[in-house]
Structures are given as C-alpha cells and as structure tokens.
Structure 1
Amino acid sequence: MTIRPGVTLEITDLQVESEGERVMEGHSVTLTCKSRCSLTDTPTFIWFRNTQTLNDRNKKLILPSVRRENAGDYRCAVQGHNHTSPPRRLNVILHRPYFRRLSVGITVACGGLFIIIIIFIIKRMQMKSRTRSASHEYENDGFGNDTYTALELNTRSSDLYDTLATVHHEDTRSTPILKSSAYENLPAPVLNSR
C-alpha cells in the first residue's frame, strides 16, 4: 500500500498471532502483531496483557520461559494509532513432572511414616509381651500355688531346728514356745552346749 502526502493511514486490521493458545510452563512462546496493511516505516508497537501495558516495543513479543503469571489476554497496537487488536488468549499449562515429583515425594514420605508406625507398634507389642511373660513367671514362681509343704523338723538338721527354736523364744530362760499348734506336743529340743 502506497501512502500519498496528506493522506492519513488508519490501521484497523491488527491481529496477535501465536504458535498456540496453550503453552507448557517453562517453555517459550512468541506472539506476533500482524497487520494486512504494509507499514513502510518501522513502527513502534505497544503490547498489553489484560489491562497492563508491557515494556516490549517490537513487532514480536517473546516470552522465553512462560510462568502462570504470563497467562491472559494479549493485544497489540501501533504507537500513534487508536486501534488495538482483538485479544488473543494465552493459557499456561502447569508442567506435569513437577506434580509427578511432588506426588512421588509425598508418597515416599507417607510410606516412610507408615513403616515407622508399624515398627513402633511391633516394638510396643513385644514390650507388652515381655512384661506379661515376666509377671506371669513371677506369679507362677510358687507363690500362687495352693499346695504347701509343712516343715518336718524330724527330717531337718538339728542346726535348722535350733535356729527356728531360738527365734521363737519368748524368754531366754524358758523352753522355746512354738507358735504353730501342729508342733505343740513335740518334745523340747536338746540344746548342744558348745
């Protein structure tokens, strides 16, 4: 298109083109401001994301590493002209390996916690089992039996009998008095004089 002197060129056919509407997070994308009119001089372009004016002034807007914040509606305009392009939507897709790594990390942490809990429960059960077994041995140590054997003084050594008789003296001058009625009729012990 040739421009004659005194004629004002009005740019009304601007469009933003991109490689796609969806871009993976971390990838680059290039947006281009195009017009069907051929512009003879080197115009200055103005880029907008949603309602924000961007600093880039070139025909191509390059986003080298797209982030979620870059998502939105992009428009362009030529400086000195009132017309802006219709919006072109840019969607940023979150990078899946990030979520995969995150889910693997959470799974490993939960698995480790589960194993620790199982080990704790097993150790606790073993401790309870040992405690029960020790107290059961104590209970069956003869103290819980209902059968008792009477002390037969005739079959025991005289030293043991002398010791028992000495313990039960009420008076050192009298004969020993045994507290059990089973032994009341036994003859008085013969004390060895040494």
Structure 2
Amino acid sequence: MLGEKQWFAEPDDSVGSWLLLVLETPSQEEETYISGWQVGLANTQNILQFESMEIGSPMRETELLSALLDELRPHRRSDLTIITPTEHTLHLLRSRLLVSPITSATLRGFDHLSTAKLVEQYFMIQIDADDHFLSSDLPNSDQPLQSTCSLGDLDVAEHQAAVEQLWGIFIQLGPLVPRRLLIGSPL
C-alpha cells in the first residue's frame, strides 16, 4: 500500500524509523522528576544518532524538558514512532510537561509504542510499570530495562546502553508480532 510504513522489510541503514526514548529519574527522591533523557534515532539495522541530557537538580527540569522537546521537534510529522520501554515512560513525560512552565509543549505528530505492552499482549509476560522491564525472559537480555532509570555520573557509552538495550529488545519483538502494531498509536 502506498504510504504504509515498512518496518521490517527492505532496510535502509541511513533512514530512521523510530525514536527510542528512555527517561531517567533520581532513585531516592521524594518528589518524582525527570533527571535525564536518552533519545536514539534507529532503524532495523542500527542506531543512527544518539543524544542525551542529565541534570542534577529538580530546579533544572524545565531546561531538560525544553531540550528534549527541541530534540524531538525536527522529527514531528515524519512518520517516526516513539518507542518507550513502558507506557509509564510516556505518562511520566506528559505529567512533567503538564506541570512545567513550558507553554508550547506538544507530542502530537508522533506515534507511540510501548515494548512492554507488546510483551504483555503477545507473550503473556506481565510487567509492572515500577518493576524491571524485562529480565532474562528474552534471549540476549543480560540486564533488565526499567521504565525509568537512574544512571548517575556515567559516560556517554554507558548512557547509550539503555537505548541500545531497548533497540535490541524491540528488534527481537518486531518480527514476532503483527506488523500493523509496530506503527503505534497517534499521540
């Protein structure tokens, strides 16, 4: 069909199909806030681009959210799907944008897909938003991936590990579920 997204056919390793989004939260704070984010532009062959940002104080969360929106903005309405570990990731982002002073925040123009939702629906593995995303239930998943993570003072390669793990899990799941589901739901 004309205009239909081709997720797992005819790969072009120079064009992105997905934006992989992982949010970081402090591990032991009373108030929940987003302390960092990681975004990877990817396709079935590799991760083409990686960006991340981390803050040390909730006072700078608005700056962090603005930078994330700036990172997402060029990809709006370009048939990219935002892939998150769980639905909780998107709920957390929306709730923090709602209470921020940012007036032009929008997630419209993207589709969204939660890998945890695919796992629950098609593999009958229940995943709690607060629990680890996946453990060794899938091959090549050495460590669990959380809906949010606390990464501390890690270098870029370690930051990118969460996005790479999300990409690897999604690549494993993709061929095993109906193709129409890989498009996600409009935001």
Q: Which category describes the TM-score, using the shorter chain as reference length?
A: under 0.3
User: TM-score, normalized by length of structure 2?
Assistant: 0.23
Query: In terms of Rg, which structure is larger?
Result: 1
User: TM-score, normalized by length of structure 1?
Assistant: 0.23
